[in-house]
Amino acid sequence: MAGDKHSKDGGTHDESRRKFIKNTGMVAGGVVGGSLLGGLFTSQLTENQDTQTKSGHKEANFQEALQFFTRRDDFNVLQAATERIFPKNDHGPGAIGLGVPYYIDKQLAGLWGINGRDYRHSPFMPQTQKEVPNPELHPEQSALNRGLIFIHGLRRMNEESQKRFNQRFDEAEEDQQIEVMQDVEHDNVKMTGIAPSDFFFLLRQATLEGAYSDPLYGGNKNMEGWKMKNFPGAQPSYANVIEQDEFVQMEPISLTDYQGN
């Protein structure tokens, strides 16, 4: 009887064990099969995407997507103004071709635009008071952050252009645009909240930064700003040329070239 009982228990145990192994095998097979099918579908999806890209579908350029400006009119004025500061010539593209307006847009959308790292508590120096400890630093003395300064400044230039020439700033002749900007630079145009020359200083500073900063930040498109100055960019090393007596022209490298490496 004891032997029969042992036989029955053993049979039950063996049957349960066989079911466990069978079920485990099915699960494992499902995982492997699913991996293969998933890989197949993923491969087909990748191939389809590659085919679409190669067939002429243009990928979206998110570097040229507005983040700060909500009115296209303001951005158009910015484009025209930066092009007057850094115009296109025989040496290379101007501010628009270098993507400078988009660089400025991104800077204004970040901490720089809201003066996030600056001491911003009053009192502020009156605009009429020009005596400052170090005028070379051109310190801002306005309760407005840089984003608001740009908005007010660009709209003021547009208003002045319409008043003088009955033309929007970005549609006016180049010499007319220069006339307005020179008057802004020399405080010959009235603005509230900030001295016009302070706005012009920020505009010029941001334009030059956008022309020569690393393309990672949205300007200096295709490193053309660097190429015009034969600037090598973010080279990993100069060990192979440091001993040379003559100037060595090198293909510039951007920080974006190191992404994913």
Q: What is the mean pLDDT of residues 101-118?
A: 92
224, amino acid identity: E
Query: Whose CA is closest to 79, among 100, 107, 110?
Result: 100
Per residue in 157-168, pLDDT tens?
A: 999 999 999 999
Which pLDDT value is given to residue 45?
A: 43
Which pLDDT value is given to residue 186?
A: 96
Q: In the chain, what are the helix, strand and coil shares in percent, each to the nearest 5?
A: 60, 0, 40
Which pLDDT value is given to residue 21?
A: 53
Q: State the Cα–Cα distance between residues 217 and 210, nearest whole angstrom.
A: 8
Residue 42 has pLDDT above 80, yes or no: no
CB atoms within 10 A of CB 46: 10
Residue with more model confidence, 1 or 79 = 79
Q: Are the C-beta atoms of residues 64 and 101 closer than 8 Å to each other? A: no
Q: Where are the chain's structural domains?
A: 17-59, 63-226
Q: What is the mean pLDDT of residues 72-85?
A: 98
Which pLDDT value is given to residue 43?
A: 46
Backbone phi, psi, residue 133, to 5°: -55, -45
Q: Structure pTM?
A: 0.71
Q: Across-strand partners of 92?
A: 89
Mean pLDDT of the chain: 81
Percent of the chain with pLDDT over 90: 61
Per residue in 117-150, pLDDT tens?
A: 777 666 666 555 455 455 555 556 677 899 999 9
Tell how far CA 91 is from the center of its chain: 25
Length of the chain: 261
Per residue in 197-235, pLDDT tens?
A: 999 999 999 999 999 999 999 999 999 999 999 999 999
Q: State the Cα–Cα distance between residues 222 and 158, nearest whole angstrom.
A: 31
Residue 34 has pLDDT above 50, yes or no: no
Q: State the Cα–Cα distance between residues 68 and 2, nearest whole angstrom.
A: 86
Please tell me what DSSP assigns to residue 59: P
